[in-house]
């Protein structure tokens, strides 16, 4: 599926998760997706880059499973002091 996206000239795009209002950047060339530190109006819409909209993180994860051809995991890191998930540390890496 990734090769099909590249053939169509789509080497990267954004994903917008409606439920959490997260924006993810997906790079099909190197096979990575990460939570982008931009907002919807001033970042995503002004970027001019195509984006897909998903109702929730599960829909997005299912899409990424299909795109990468296998089940993916969403990784994140914790702040060692507060033990809270860091806001923009979520990522998906193709293995």
Question: Is 43 in contact with 23 (CB distance < 8 Å)?
Answer: yes
pLDDT (tens digit per residue) in 1-38: 454 544 456 788 999 999 989 999 988 888 888 888 88
pLDDT (tens digit per residue) in 75-88: 666 666 776 765 55
pLDDT of residue 7: 41
**Cα angle at 89 between 85 and 90, to 5 degrees?**
95
With the C-alpha atoms ordered 18, 79, 12, 71, is the resulting torsion angle positive or negative?
Answer: negative
pLDDT of residue 31: 81
Mean pLDDT of 47-70: 87
Domain count, the chain: 1
- Which pTM was predicted? 0.72
Check whether 91 has a pLDDT greater than 50.
yes
In which domain, by residue range, is 61 found?
A: 2-93
What does pLDDT average to over the chain? 78
């Amino acid at each position: 599926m990734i090769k099909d996206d590249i053939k169509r000239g789509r080497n990267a795009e954004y994903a917008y998760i409606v439920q959490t209002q997260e924006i993810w950047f997906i790079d099909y060339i190197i096979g990575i997706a990460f939570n982008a530190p931009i907002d919807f109006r001033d970042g995503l819409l002004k970027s001019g880059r195509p984006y897909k909209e998903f109702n929730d993180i599960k829909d997005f994860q299912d899409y990424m499973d299909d795109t990468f051809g296998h089940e993916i995991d969403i990784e994140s890191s914790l702040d060692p002091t507060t033990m809270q998930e860091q806001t923009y540390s979520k990522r998906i890496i193709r293995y």
